[in-house]
Structure 1
């Protein structure tokens, strides 16, 4: 496995001083790969770095959802599916006023 050009530490280093590894991630402003017998087993990030990563992922997921919606709109042929087929259950014509939701 090729590891990116980022700092690496061993699991032994993490056991000795986890705060030092977190400080390294903060000082270098990057994740620090944790290796066990030469294989990456985790990446240490600061809370801020992790939050930025999660926010970036959420933005990408939003962009992906918008793109799928845009594609669906552009490919819409006007065909509609009845509510009965969507729900696979019979939909009553009238609402039950005593269904417990009011």
Structure 2
């Protein structure tokens, strides 16, 4: 597995190929990722420089990341609601301009 900020492979429990193999037959590497249903690490002089995924694997990864971000946002929102003390910020502090008490029906937006 790769550590944060570390481009060397610590544990080689994933399929790996060299940059030379990628140059010789990139379709073979994509097929390997598909057949093994996992990313294939591309190594240059023993250091991981990229990971080859199929489009489906990449899409699944992006969807999973989006779900996690949604869950994180929901969790933060629930925590904010739980810790809400009822204090509100006046509109004049949110905006440089005051918010009018009445709606101008002739403001050009309708």
Which residue pairs with 2:26 in the alignment? 18
Aligned residues: 102
Distance 1:49 1:78 in 2: 45
User: Could you tell me which of 69, 85, 88 is aligned with 1:80?
Assistant: 88
Of Structure 1 and Structure 2, the greater helix share is in 1
Which runs of 5 or more structure 1 residues have no equivalent in the other structure? none
Distance 1:40 1:88 in 2: 51
After superposition, the C-alpha distances for 1:37-91 in whole angstroms (9 at most, x for unaligned) are: 1111110000110011011101100110010000000000010111221223332
Q: Secondary structure at the match of 2:89?
A: coil
Which residue pairs with 1:53 in the alignment? 61
Give me the TM-score of the superposition, normalised by structure 1. 0.89
Give me the TM-score of the superposition, normalised by structure 2. 0.83
Shift of 1:14: 0.8
Shift of 1:30: 0.4
